[in-house]
Amino acid sequence: GPSVGNAALLQQMVAHTENTYFADVCGSLEDQDRHEAFFREVCVRTARLVVEWQSVGFCHGVLNTDNMSIVGLTLDYGPYAFMEPYDPTFICNGSDDNGRYTYGAQPAICRWNLQKLADALLPLLPADRAAACIEQYDAIFDAHYTAKLRRKLGIVASAEADDAALAQALLELMEDTFADFTNTFRVLSGVALSSSDASALELLALHWTLIGEVKELLKPRLSPEHLPMIIAMYRQNPRMLEGMGIGGVRVQTEIRNAKIRAEIESLDEKGLYERNAKLWQAWPTRYRERLP
Q: Which residues contact 152 (CB under 8 A, 6 or more apart)?
A: 55, 185, 188
Of 24, 31, 33, 66, which one is the catalytic site residue? Answer: 66
DSSP letters along 242-287, please? Answer: HHTT--HHHHHHHHHHHHHHHHHTT--HHHHHHHHHHHHTTHHHHH
Helix (H, G, I), strand (E, B) or coil at 160: coil
Number of H helices, E strands in the chain: 15, 2
Half-sphere exposure of 67 (CA within 13 A, CB side): 15
66 as an active site residue: the answer is yes
CA atoms of 207 and 199, how far apart (whole Å)? 14
Residue 288's nearest CA partner among 195, 198, 156, 161 is 195
Which residues are catalytically annotated? Answer: 66
